Structure 1
Amino acid sequence: MKYTSTLIAVKDMEKSKQFYHDVLGLNVVADFGANVTLDGGVVLQTLDTWKSFIRTNKVVLPNNAGELYFEEDDMDAFCNHLKSFTISYVHELFEHRWGQRVVRFYDPDKHIVEIGEKLDAVVLRFVEQGLSAEETANRMDIPIDFVVSCLDNK
């Protein structure tokens, strides 16, 4: 068995394709009309065909039961990019207790999209701010080996 993608139901395929392209930079890999595959394994399915596939009209949009999660090296640049769009935020940029900065917002169908700062970028940010590798591991509550590997790969 192999995991291949995440499928989300959308009301307006063209609007959703445009959103995921413009906001997240995802390109169409395959377009079958009612089913569109984007970079990274995100699949869009029209709501009407999704209802027929699962044999119900009881599809609940919006909901807060899950999210599409992406990672970004440069959170400041990405958040500035978001200012170009009318975004409905779950919450704007904030920092988790372990130091990772994240922003969450809704796509056109109210699916939650999270953009999180890559953990290796968090490590580098803390070290650049003057923390030692050990202090960074303690601050982030992660193994020192992970911190060292991030520093070795920079």
Structure 2
Amino acid sequence: MNLKLRYVILYVSNHEKSKHFYNEILGLPIRGEHGTYIEFETGSTILSINTRESVKEITGLNIAESKTSQTFELGFVVEDVKETIENLRKQDVQILVEPIEKPWGQVVAYVADPDGHYIEICSSLD
């Protein structure tokens, strides 16, 4: 079996707020949009969003109305973590953890999207 991660779908409460956050604030280009489902270009993996209501209707899965705990994070690599965090702060993005250099040399910071999903903004390890 040869598995490749092609896309991640975030379940969101407010389609327009999330679209604005990922497209306008983070600057991710929209790859495709079909109703409440949106795909954003991020490189080799596509980031998608869809409303909880739509996902319930499409899949028949039991989707919780709200999150109760964090079980994952999204990680975005940038050239300058501190500059990126300052730009996000100016756009009223919730900064959870200020930039800090980790023992392995990577600079990381954390922000939250409109639904509270954790997003790591980090320097490359390459």
TM over 0.5: yes
Residue 34 of structure 1 corresponds to 36
Q: Once the 2 structures are TM-superposed, how far is the Cα of residue 59 of structure 1 from its aligned partner?
A: 4.6
**Which has more helix, going by share of residues?**
1
More strand by share: 2
Tell me how far apart the structure 2 counterparts of residues 103 and 16 of structure 1 sit (CA, whole Å). Answer: 20
Structure 1 counterpart of 2:102 = 96
Given the superposition, is the C-alpha separation of residues 22 and 62 from structure 1 closer, same or farther in structure 2, using an over 3 Å criterion?
Answer: farther
1:32-51: CA deviations, max 9, x gaps? 01211011200001110123
Q: Secondary structure at the match of 1:94?
A: strand
Aligned twin of 2:82: 76
Asked whether 1:112 is paired with 2:118, we answer yes
Normalising to structure 1: TM-score of the pair?
Answer: 0.70
1:66-122: CA deviation from partner (whole Å, max 9, x where unpaired): 0111101122321221121212233121121112111111100111111111124xx
**Of the candidates 9, 12, 15, which is equivalent to residue 11 of structure 2?**
9
Q: Is the 8 A contact 1:62 1:110 kept in 2?
A: no
Relative contact order (alpha carbons < 8 A, sep ≥ 6): 1 or 2 greater?
Answer: 2
TM-score calculated relative to the size of structure 2? 0.84
In structure 2, list runs of 5 or more residues that go unmatched. none
| Maintained 8 Å contact 2:55/2:63 | no
- Show structure 1 runs of 5+ residues with no match: 121-154
Percent identity over the alignment is 28
Higher radius of gyration, 1 or 2: 1
**Which residue of the other structure, out of 10, 23, 26, is the alignment partner of 1:24?**
26
- Which residue of structure 2 aligns with residue 50 of structure 1? 55
RMSD across aligned C-alpha pairs, in angstroms?
1.7
